[in-house]
Amino acid sequence: MYHNILVPIAFEADHDTTAPIKLARLLATPEARITLMHVIEHIPAYAISYMPADYTAAARQAVESQLKSMAAELPNCTAEVIEGHSGGSIVDWAEEHGCDLIILDSHRPGMQDVILGSTATHVVRHAQCAVHVVR
């Protein structure tokens, strides 16, 4: 059983948000702290000029609202939205906050993942705590 669980959430069509949350509920001690997190990737400078001025703030607000709604369904659960590179940011946040488990979902890897690597791959290789990948 785990005491401080981080569950990164990706709001993309090929990612399942329910399975990692169900697993966190099963693996958590009764007093465990669970954090649902989403990492907002930085928009490259060449692309930001094509976006509406309030795009980043609106996107962040929508993600925070969705995460808080999801967190309300779990005991002792909070929502966290951070900015950065997903793999590295997840690993760094987990280490800084003393997480003893990271649960994340993984999509079926494609050719781009072989070349670039996936978030799950990065987290599994670099996290200092246990990592459970759900498909």
Q: What is the pLDDT of residues 49-91, one digit of tens each?
A: 888 888 888 989 999 999 999 999 999 999 999 999 999 999 9
Quote the mean pLDDT of the chain: 89
Number of C-alpha atoms within 13 angstroms, CB side, residue 39?
A: 18
Mean pLDDT of 94-122: 78
Residues written for the chain: 135
* Comparison of pLDDT for 101 and 56, the residue scoring more: 101
Q: What pTM value is reported for the model?
A: 0.90
Give the pLDDT band of residue 117 (cuts 50, 70, 90). low
CATH number at residue 104: 3.40.50.620
Let me know: does 98 contact 4? Beta carbons within 8 Å.
Answer: yes
Task: For CA atoms 43, 49, 50, 52, give the dihedral sign.
Answer: positive
List all residues 6 or more positions away from 14 whose beta carbon is below 8 Å from its beta carbon. 107, 108
Do the Cβ atoms of 24 and 68 come closer than 8 Å? Answer: no
pLDDT at 109: 60
Per the structure, the complete domain to which residue 119 belongs is given by 2-134
Report how far Cα 135 is from the mean position of its chain's Cα atoms: 15
Residue 6, pLDDT above cutoff 80: yes
| pLDDT value, residue 116 | 44
- The total number of structural domains in the chain stands at 1
